[in-house]
Amino acid sequence: MTNKDYSNKIFKFILKISAIVSFSILVLLFVVLLKHSYLAIKTFKLKFFIDTTWDPVFEKFGALPFVYGTLLTSFLALIISAPISISVALFLSEFANRRLKEFLGVIISLLAAIPSVIYGLVGIFVLAPLMREYIGPGIQKIFGFLPFFQGSVYGLDYFTASIVLSIMITPTITSISTELFDAVPKSLREASLALGATKWEMIKISVLKTTKVGVIAALLLGLGRAIGETMAVTMVIGNVPNISLSLFSSGATLASVIANEFTEATSDLYLSSLYYIGLVLLLVTLALNLSSKILIKYLVKTK
Amino acid sequence: MKKIIKNAIAAVVILSNLIFAQKVVLINGAGATFPYPLYSKWFYEYAKIDKTVNFNYQSIGSGGGIRQIFAQTVDFGATDAFLTEEQLKQAPGKILHIPTTAGAVVLIYNIPELKGKEPLRLTPEIISKIYLGKIKKWNDKLIQTENPNVTLPDKNIVVARRSDGSGTTFIFTDYLCEISAEWKNRVGKGTSVNWPVGLGGKGNEGVAGIVKNTPYSIGYVEISYAIQNNLDYAIVKNKDGYYVKPTIESITAAVEDKAKNMPDDYRVSIVNAGGKNSYSISGFTWILVYQKQKDPIRGEKLVKFLKWALTDGQKYCAELHYAPLPKNLVDKVLKTIETIEY
Amino acid sequence: MNRKLKDKIFQFFIYLSVSIVSFVLLFITGYVLYKGFSSINLDFFIRLPKPVGEKGGGMVNAIVGSFMIVGIASLFSVPLSILTGVYLSEYKNEKFANIVRSSLEILGAVPSIIIGIFVYGLVVYPMKRFSLLAGSIALSIIMIPLIARTTEEMLNMVPTTIKEAGLSLGIKNWKVIFYIILNTAKPGVLTGVLLSLARVFGETAPLLFTSFGNRFWHRSILDPAAALPLQIFVYAISPYDDWNRQAWAGAFVLIVIVYILIIVSRRLVLKYK
């Protein structure tokens, strides 16, 4: 009898240790980030996010250009990706047969698995020249009067970065949305069809309306993914810490400035400012993920 | 299946440890992209000469070289921006600047209409105004006047500069400060500055890449990068009014003009040199080492390499478009290298 | 007719979206394979990089480096996260389990560049060296939430009847969990491992400040090491045509490895379900 007690206890102990280690990594993460960003936090406090100057020579650091770049590219990516991702998800749940669903499922997982640096590579050598030669000037011919499309198109700008990001977040939004749509009971669909609805009307009433909250959660997760994306963005955004209304301007994001300048931050304040940016990036990403989880919990509760 | 994976991992680890069990010392350095073509050639050739050591150099910019040598995560740093008095005081130990070569920062441009024609002529005023954002078009009066034999296009100038901490930037902005009071007051000099205009490229490689791929652009890079990538570069009017092409001779002329006032620690700027043949935007590049080496084996191999670089290594400079150091300077530097303790 | 028109437009848009997504995937894959294939030669797989600007040379140190960094990362993360996953599944109602589950969810959402600066501050800076080891630690932190969560999910899918059967035969609890339940869930758990391998094989950002890169061979795990995605990045942003060519070759190798891992893991999941 005692033998059984011991071995089970030991086993549970080992399991608990593993869990503790996993948990401590997160704690350590916050500790290290806070420790290294402390200097910048003390020096700049919250003004950090309103200041537009990023000047390593005079040691004045303001993160607004990066916040702007991150928000602009991520939201634009979401706007581009959302209708497409949701449509694909609808296709998978409402139109596709089993084989097609499986086949498209593979395509989506592969798209999700392509490393960021390869997206960047294709972005530099395929998308940027296309932008510069054809798409940019094309857009300018029609919409050039708008402030969003002013200026020469060099190919490495907010617009290119947003398009690359939109491709990268599509699998995330699609896969979650597909699951949500699949979960809608058949009866609900049949009810609206029986009342004479067209397929689009059936989808609008029975599927989209009921899964609205979940889809928003999926979009939030996609947004979170876009905000933290580093390599592909760094390679196509131009790396200029400025703020411009034109989508054809080069810019920088919170993640790209860290990637570009971290190993070269020559002073303690410089490095600390980059850690401060990292801390903020982390908090924003977590906030989005948390909101997404809360929405999903709400969804489950109201079922 | 799990077993297979575990066994494969174990095999790779064991095998690689066997392969690497030879006693080859790895010495790590990081820093300037300015001399990277020369350094990478040096390390490649030196690995054949002394098979007991490999030098791993990561070209991350002078800012990175300074940062990492201060943090002591590398054995040596490399920079074209010499340390200031303040920085020297902040270092955890005494750091020596070992000059290795001198190079030229050239203004590369990509103007399709000018391809294959004479190089563009630029004055200091034009260069500073372009980078201040005051001259916006290629066919601006100032540029056209200096280049009467070509018709410049009516296109916007796409300016490229560095997005990382760069010694090349330091040399270039040092030059801009010397020739433009406005630049000096508004922007200043440094490895990283608050640029009024410009697209950011990472490393000399990044700037060369932008100019190569973007029509009607201009950028500043070390001459090696211009030549290796078939990029056109400009002739610059120097302090005494002569238009000088960046060549090994004109870099050496700049070195000799300014080296008259060479301090003992070799921290000197050679921009805006005078004389008929000096190229205005030249600069030394240095390797940063601690005078007291922590590790005797690495220290010894590092010193051996530095001596080789200053003597036999100099023969690789010319073919890569760097100026070999003049003999009297080499003698002085070799004596400094002798003071490194390990 | 208005309604019918709306319906047709809507269906058109759906088919358009599906075509766009399929086209993008096929284009990217095809383009990488095409550019990469024409750039690959034997040298690429067996030679070290040549000096800047010279043609030729290869990425053998980066390919081996990637395998080693990922391999050692797995040594850390796989046992640890599987055990954590078992804990979360077995004791799912304990308060501590909920805390761990939430922290893993949070950890899984951290952008990989932040993991990079974290491990720089934790390992590289105090050790005063960039190293393969630091790179492995960074990658293992990315792998842990993925594997732990998948393990927990897969274990939960094992019917309780199996556990009850084992216990009723008088087998000790821990043996039931370890030998019977885990074994049953093996294909599912393996899927999680393969997916996380696919993910970290392509990660660049966390390696920028940890394993740093190496033009030669690393001599031990305490040296900086080259890695495939890192090398692709450096070569892609450079102006040298030969380096750009090698970047495509590297991308080809990388995408093939990642795709194989994904496809194998999908097969396993289907078999399991």
DSSP three-state, residue B253: helix
Q: Most A CBs within 10 Å: which of C76, C77, C118, C260, as the mutation test of the A interface?
A: C118
Q: What's the domain count of chain B?
A: 2
Handedness of CA A252, A224, C193, A164 (dihedral sign): negative
Please indicate, yes or no, whether residues B309 and B179 belong to a single structural domain of this protein: no
- Nearest by CB to A56, from B60, B192, B213: name it: B192
Interchain contact B198–A (C-beta under 8 A): yes
Q: Which of chain C's residues have a Cβ under 8 Å away from the Cβ of B19? A: 217
Interchain contact C259–A (C-beta under 8 A): yes
Nearest 5°: the CA angle A282, A286, A287 is 115
Amino acid identity at C44? F
* CATH assignment of the domain containing B37: 3.40.190.10
How many C-beta atoms lie closer than 10 Å to residue A13's C-beta? 10
Cα separation of B316 and B186, whole Å? Answer: 40
The label of the residue with tokens 């070509």 reads: B150
Exposed (0-12), middle (13-18) or buried (19+): which is A289, by Cβ within 10 Å?
buried
pLDDT of residue A4: 53
Residue whose C-alpha is closest to residue B232's, from B146, B108, B123 = B108
Q: What is the separation of C-alpha C150 from the centre of its chain, rounded to a whole number of angstroms?
A: 14
Please indicate, yes or no, whether residues B157 and B253 belong to a single structural domain of this protein: yes
CB contact under 8 A, A154 and B165: no
Band of residue A197 on the pLDDT scale cut at 50, 70, 90:
confident
Contact yes or no for C181/C155 (Cβ under 8 A): yes
C263-273, pLDDT tens digit by residue? Answer: 998 888 887 76
Section C221-232 average pLDDT: 92
Q: Most C CBs within 10 Å: which of A95, A163, A231, A280, as the mutation test of the C interface?
A: A231
Cα separation of C13 and C19, whole Å? Answer: 10
Asked whether residue B76 is domain-assigned, the answer is yes
Q: Which of chain C's residues have a Cβ under 8 Å away from the Cβ of A118? A: 28, 32, 202, 232, 251, 254-255
Asked whether residue B263 is domain-assigned, the answer is no
Band of residue C66 on the pLDDT scale cut at 50, 70, 90:
very high
Residues of A in CB contact (< 8 Å) with B are 53-58, 128-129, 132, 152, 154-156, 238-240, 250, 252, 260-261, 263-266, 271
Residue B326 DSSP class: P
* Half-sphere exposure in the Cβ direction for C102 (13 Å, CA): 10
Please indicate, yes or no, whether residues B92 and B110 belong to a single structural domain of this protein: no
Residue whose C-alpha is closest to residue B56's, from B80, B73, B70, B71 = B73
CB contact under 8 A, C53 and B209: no
Domain coverage including residue B118: 104-258
Position with higher pLDDT, B22 vs A251:
A251
**Residue C248: C-alpha distances to residues A129, A148, C202 (Å):** 17, 33, 14
Tell whether the model's pLDDT for residue C48 goes beyond 80: yes
**Residue A244: C-alpha distances to residues A66, A231, B129, B218 (Å):** 11, 22, 22, 21
CB contact under 8 A, B13 and C68: yes
CB contact under 8 A, B13 and C240: no
CB contact under 8 A, B224 and C53: yes
Band of residue A79 on the pLDDT scale cut at 50, 70, 90:
very high
B265-283, pLDDT tens digit by residue? Answer: 999 999 999 889 999 999 9
Please indicate, yes or no, whether residues B114 and B230 belong to a single structural domain of this protein: yes
pLDDT of residue B184: 94
Q: What is the separation of C-alpha C187 from the centre of its chain, rounded to a whole number of angstroms?
A: 18
The label of the residue with tokens 């599906």 reads: C18
Q: Which of chain C's residues have a Cβ under 8 Å away from the Cβ of B12? A: 67-68, 71
- Nearest by CB to B199, from A240, A260, A261: name it: A240
Contacts of B168 (CB under 8 A, 6+ apart): B32, B33, B34, B62, B80, B105, B162, B204, B220, B221, B222, B283
Shortest alpha-carbon distance between residue C113 and chain A (Å): 7
Asked whether residue B342 is domain-assigned, the answer is no
Give the residue from chain A lying closest to B200, CA to CA.
A239
CB contact under 8 A, B199 and A132: no
Give the residue from chain B lying closest to A58, CA to CA.
B193
Residue C57 DSSP class: B
- Nearest by CB to C53, from B1, B212, B228: name it: B228
pLDDT of residue C220: 85
Q: What is the separation of C-alpha C55 from the centre of its chain, rounded to a whole number of angstroms?
A: 32
B148-200, pLDDT tens digit by residue? Answer: 999 999 999 999 998 877 889 999 999 999 999 999 999 988 888 888 988 88
pLDDT of residue B3: 61
Mean pLDDT of chain C: 89
CB contact under 8 A, B44 and C212: no
CB contact under 8 A, A260 and B188: no
Q: What percent of chain B has pLDDT over 90?
A: 63
Cα separation of B299 and B11, whole Å? Answer: 34
CB contact under 8 A, C236 and A124: yes
DSSP three-state, residue B101: strand
Please indicate, yes or no, whether residues B91 and B64 belong to a single structural domain of this protein: yes
Interchain contact C137–A (C-beta under 8 A): no
- Residues 234-253 (C) with a CB less than 8 A from some CB of A: 236-237, 244, 247-248, 251
Cα separation of C265 and A288, whole Å? Answer: 29
C176-200, pLDDT tens digit by residue? Answer: 877 888 888 888 899 999 999 999 9
A121-157, pLDDT tens digit by residue? Answer: 999 999 999 998 899 889 988 988 888 888 778 888 9
Tell whether the model's pLDDT for residue C234 goes beyond 80: yes
DSSP three-state, residue B93: coil
pLDDT of residue B13: 64
Least confident of A15-24, A220-229, B85-94, C220-229: A15-24
Cα separation of C268 and C265, whole Å? Answer: 5
Mean pLDDT of chain B: 89
B/e letters for A68-93, b = 16+ CB within 10 Å, e = fewer, are bbbebbbebbbebbbebbbbbbbbbb
Cα separation of C29 and C61, whole Å? Answer: 25
Tell whether the model's pLDDT for residue C55 goes beyond 90: no
- ipTM confidence score: 0.91
Shortest alpha-carbon distance between residue B241 and chain C (Å): 33
Cα separation of B167 and B178, whole Å? Answer: 16
Asked whether residue B19 is domain-assigned, the answer is yes
CB contact under 8 A, A154 and B158: yes
Nearest 5°: the CA angle C69, A34, C115 is 20
- Residues 198-217 (C) with a CB less than 8 A from some CB of A: 198-199, 201-205, 208-209
**Residue C24: C-alpha distances to residues B191, C30, C252 (Å):** 40, 10, 17
Q: SS3 string of chain A?
A: CHHHHHHHHHHHHHHHHHHHHHHHHHHHHHHHHHHHHHHHHHHHHHHHHCCCCEECCCCEECCHHHHHHHHHHHHHHHHHHHHHHHHHHHHHHHHCCHHHHHHHHHHHHHHHHCCHHHHHHHHHHHHHHHHHHHHHHHHHHHHCCCHHHCCCCCCCCHHHHHHHHHHHHHHHHHHHHHHHHHCCCHHHHHHHHHCCCCHHHHHHHHHHHHHHHHHHHHHHHHHHHHHHCCHHHHHHCECCCCCCCCCCCCECCHHHHHHHHHHHCCCHHHHHHHHHHHHHHHHHHHHHHHHHHHHHHHHHHHC
Asked whether residue B226 is domain-assigned, the answer is yes
Please indicate, yes or no, whether residues B82 and B220 belong to a single structural domain of this protein: no
Cα separation of A94 and A278, whole Å? Answer: 41
The label of the residue with tokens 């300016």 reads: B159
The label of the residue with tokens 């370890």 reads: C178
Handedness of CA B8, B9, B10, B11 (dihedral sign): positive
Tell whether the model's pLDDT for residue A2 goes beyond 60: no
Tell whether the model's pLDDT for residue B65 goes beyond 80: yes
Touching A: which chains, 3+ CB pairs < 8 A? Answer: B, C
The label of the residue with tokens 């390990």 reads: B342
- Residues 37-76 (C) with a CB less than 8 A from some CB of A: none
Section B205-224 average pLDDT: 90
Contact yes or no for C231/C63 (Cβ under 8 A): no
Touching C: which chains, 3+ CB pairs < 8 A? Answer: A, B
Shortest alpha-carbon distance between residue A59 and chain B (Å): 10
Shortest alpha-carbon distance between residue B3 and chain C (Å): 11
Contact yes or no for C192/C156 (Cβ under 8 A): no
Band of residue B63 on the pLDDT scale cut at 50, 70, 90:
confident
Tell whether the model's pLDDT for residue A80 goes beyond 70: yes
Asked whether residue B28 is domain-assigned, the answer is yes
* Half-sphere exposure in the Cβ direction for B18 (13 Å, CA): 6
B227-250, pLDDT tens digit by residue? Answer: 988 999 999 999 999 999 999 999
Cα separation of B278 and B245, whole Å? Answer: 9
How many C-beta atoms lie closer than 10 Å to residue C126's C-beta? 8
Band of residue B15 on the pLDDT scale cut at 50, 70, 90:
low
φ, ψ at A254 (rounded to 5°): -55, -45
Section C204-223 average pLDDT: 89
- Nearest by CB to A230, from C15, C111, C266: name it: C111
Section A178-205 average pLDDT: 88
Asked whether residue B271 is domain-assigned, the answer is no
Residue B324 DSSP class: P
CB contact under 8 A, A239 and B163: yes
**Percentages (nearest 5) of helix, strand, coil residues in chain C:** 80, 0, 20
Please indicate, yes or no, whether residues B129 and B23 belong to a single structural domain of this protein: no
Cα separation of C75 and C189, whole Å? Answer: 16
Band of residue B4 on the pLDDT scale cut at 50, 70, 90:
low
Please indicate, yes or no, whether residues B45 and B90 belong to a single structural domain of this protein: yes
The neighbouring-strand residues paired with B103 are B283
- Nearest by CB to B194, from A57, A238, A252: name it: A57
Handedness of CA B246, B248, B250, B253 (dihedral sign): positive
pLDDT of residue A13: 84
pLDDT of residue C20: 94
Contacts of C185 (CB under 8 A, 6+ apart): C151, C154, C155, C157, C158, C272
Please indicate, yes or no, whether residues B203 and B144 belong to a single structural domain of this protein: yes
Q: What percent of chain C has pLDDT over 90?
A: 50
Section A76-103 average pLDDT: 93
Asked whether residue B268 is domain-assigned, the answer is no
Q: Most C CBs within 10 Å: which of B44, B213, B294, as the mutation test of the C interface?
A: B44
Tell whether the model's pLDDT for residue C41 goes beyond 70: yes
Please indicate, yes or no, whether residues B241 and B313 belong to a single structural domain of this protein: no
Band of residue B12 on the pLDDT scale cut at 50, 70, 90:
low
Please indicate, yes or no, whether residues B13 and B36 belong to a single structural domain of this protein: yes
Section B118-138 average pLDDT: 94
CB contact under 8 A, B26 and C223: yes
Mean pLDDT of chain A: 89
Please indicate, yes or no, whether residues B67 and B9 belong to a single structural domain of this protein: yes
Q: What percent of chain C has pLDDT over 70?
A: 99
Do strands B235-237 and B243-244 pair parallel, antiparallel, or not at all (unpaired)? Answer: antiparallel
CB contact under 8 A, A15 and C28: no
Q: What percent of chain A has pLDDT over 70?
A: 97
Q: Which of chain C's residues have a Cβ under 8 Å away from the Cβ of A29? A: 107, 110, 114-115, 118
